[in-house]
Amino acid sequence: MLKKRIWSMAQQLLMPKATAIWLVDNTALTFDQIALFCKLHPLEVKAIADGEASQGIKGLDPISTGQLTREEIKKGEETPTHKLVLSTSKVHLPEKKRKGPRYTPLSKRQDRPNAILWLVRNHPELKDAQISRLAGTTKNTIAQIRDRTHWNSANLTPMDPVSLGLCSQIDLDMEVEKAAKNRPAMEPAAQGETLMPAEQTQTFAGDLNTPAEPAENDMDKEYDADLVFASLSSLKGDEDEAGEENS
């Protein structure tokens, strides 16, 4: 809506009487052409040319303001029936930032409490100033709805402000995103120990990575020959004694 308004302002002639004075004094355009371009009556343009009207007004050059080109003036001078065309402004006016609550039409003002209730319930992270911008209301009304002290609290129904036409989805998403950035980080809930401490895991890892010492192989042992033969002799003597007892 604001862009359309800026566009319409850019398509309107600035200071029409001052522009008409300049065109009368500096061009050969007809009174009808000047009157049509400046949206004046031809008799008023004639009075300007005769010095009977608009005395004390300084002429405004439409070429310097970018609203009329020299080529367009030349076409009008050559063809008396030519209608002057206002040039498109090359200057883009920045969008004016809105201050205070958004304007709400009369037909939708009765829906604002429902929208406020919806925002309070579904986006508790929003501040009162943000809700005020989205719903076009005051902080006092928001506080009453929060505290359930509003005169019509019993009949309020939460309704999406976007569906009600109070704000756009882009505006709502931007305010929610701002609120999310400003929200303090929540501490994680305490949970049971599901993982082993790092010291124990490092210890176990060290034990696993340490190669086990190989068992001593019996083949690699060194034997004393005298001890071996002495053992065999004692075994043989025991066998002989057992045979004699059996006989």
Q: For residue range 225-234, what is the model confidence (pLDDT) as tens digits?
A: 666 666 666 6
Asked whether residue 47 is assigned to any structural domain, the reply reads yes
Asked whether residue 54 is assigned to any structural domain, the reply reads yes
Distance from CA of residue 87 to its chain's centroid? 36
Same domain (yes/no): 117, 170: yes
| Residue 236 confidence class, pLDDT cut points 50, 70, 90 | low
pTM of whole model > 0.75? no
Same domain (yes/no): 123, 66: no
In this model, does residue 70 exceed pLDDT 70? yes
Compute how many other C-beta atoms are within 10 angstroms of the C-beta atom of residue 112: 23
Q: Mean pLDDT of all residues in the chain?
A: 75
- % of residues, the chain, pLDDT over 90: 25
What pLDDT is recorded for position 1? 47
- Report which of residues 101 and 179 the model is more confident about: 179
Asked whether residue 135 is assigned to any structural domain, the reply reads yes
Asked whether residue 88 is assigned to any structural domain, the reply reads no
Distance from CA of residue 216 to its chain's centroid? 73
Asked whether residue 33 is assigned to any structural domain, the reply reads yes
Asked whether residue 158 is assigned to any structural domain, the reply reads yes
| Residue 55 confidence class, pLDDT cut points 50, 70, 90 | confident
Total domain count, the chain = 2
Task: Kindly state the average pLDDT of the residues 55-74.
Answer: 87
| Residue 82 confidence class, pLDDT cut points 50, 70, 90 | very high
**Of 181, 199, 233, which residue is a domain's last?**
181
> Of the spans 12-16, 65-69, 75-79, 103-107, which averages the highest pLDDT?
75-79
Q: How far apart are CA 42 and CA 80, in angstroms?
A: 14
What pLDDT is recorded for position 162? 87
Same domain (yes/no): 113, 165: yes
Same domain (yes/no): 57, 112: no
Task: Kindly state the average pLDDT of the residues 220-225.
Answer: 57
Among candidate residues 4, 3, 8, 10, the one with its CA nearest the CA of residue 94:
3
Contact criterion met (CB below 8 Å) for 45 and 53: no
Identify the domain containing residue 156 by its residue range.
106-181
**Of 181, 205, 228, which residue is a domain's last?**
181
**Of 139, 165, 181, which residue is a domain's last?**
181
Contact criterion met (CB below 8 Å) for 179 and 123: yes
What pLDDT is recorded for position 234? 66
In this model, does residue 104 exceed pLDDT 50? yes
Task: Kindly state the average pLDDT of the residues 197-217.
Answer: 54
What pLDDT is recorded for position 56? 75
Task: Kindly state the average pLDDT of the residues 212-223.
Answer: 53
Task: Kindly state the average pLDDT of the residues 195-208.
Answer: 56
Q: How far apart are CA 133 and CA 122, in angstroms?
A: 16
- Report which of residues 210 and 175 the model is more confident about: 175
Q: Please report which helix (H) or strand (E) contains residue 4, including its range.
A: helix 2-10
Task: Kindly state the average pLDDT of the residues 206-221.
Answer: 53
Same domain (yes/no): 124, 69: no
Asked whether residue 224 is assigned to any structural domain, the reply reads no
Asked whether residue 173 is assigned to any structural domain, the reply reads yes
| Residue 111 confidence class, pLDDT cut points 50, 70, 90 | confident
Same domain (yes/no): 113, 167: yes
